[in-house]
C-alpha cells in the first residue's frame, strides 16, 4: 500500500478431531443356550468424524479350553458391508453387525472384540 513494503501476520488455530466409533447397545450379553445351539445378537456401529472412506476390521478372540484346545465360537456378519461411508450431510453411515456364538463345550466368556479402522484406531 502506498508503494511501501507490506507485512501481514496470519494466525490460524484449530482442533484435530479423531474419528471414533460408538456402539448401540454399548455392550452385549448373549443369552445362555444349550450346547451346539447358536445364540445371536444384532448391534449398530456408529462411526463419527470419518472424512474419508475407511473399512472396519474385526479381531475376534479364540478361546482356550481346559484341555488346551483352542476354539473360535464367535462369528460376525455385516449384511451391508464393513465400509465407513461419508454421507452427503457430513455424517457417517451406521453399520449393522450380527454376532453369533456357538460351542459344543460348556463355557462362559467375558472379554473384548476389537473393531479397528484402516488407520488402526
Q: What is the pTM of this model?
A: 0.78
Residue 92: Cβ within 10 Å count:
20
Confidence of residue 3 (pLDDT cuts 50, 70, 90): low
- Summarised one tens digit per residue, pLDDT across range 29-65 is 888 899 999 999 999 999 999 988 899 999 998 888 8
The region that residue 51 occupies, defined by phi over 0 for left and psi between -120 and 50 for alpha, beta otherwise, is: alpha
| Residues 61-119: tens digit of each pLDDT | 888 888 888 889 999 999 999 999 999 998 999 999 999 999 998 887 788 899 998 88
Domains of the chain from N-terminus onward: 20-116 (2.60.40)
Amino acid at each position: 500500500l502506498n508503494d511501501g513494503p507490506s507485512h501481514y501476520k496470519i494466525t490460524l488455530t484449530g482442533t484435530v478431531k479423531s474419528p471414533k466409533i460408538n456402539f448401540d447397545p454399548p455392550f452385549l450379553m448373549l443369552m445362555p443356550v444349550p450346547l451346539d445351539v447358536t445364540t445371536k445378537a444384532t448391534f449398530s456401529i456408529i462411526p463419527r468424524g470419518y472424512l474419508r472412506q475407511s473399512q472396519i476390521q474385526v479381531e475376534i478372540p479364540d478361546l482356550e479350553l481346559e484341555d488346551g484346545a483352542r476354539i473360535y465360537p464367535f462369528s460376525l456378519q455385516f449384511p451391508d458391508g464393513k465400509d465407513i461411508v461419508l454421507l452427503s450431510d457430513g455424517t457417517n453411515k451406521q453399520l449393522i453387525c450380527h454376532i453369533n456364538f456357538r460351542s459344543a463345550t460348556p463355557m462362559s466368556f467375558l472379554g473384548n472384540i476389537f473393531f479397528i479402522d484402516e488407520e488402526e484406531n
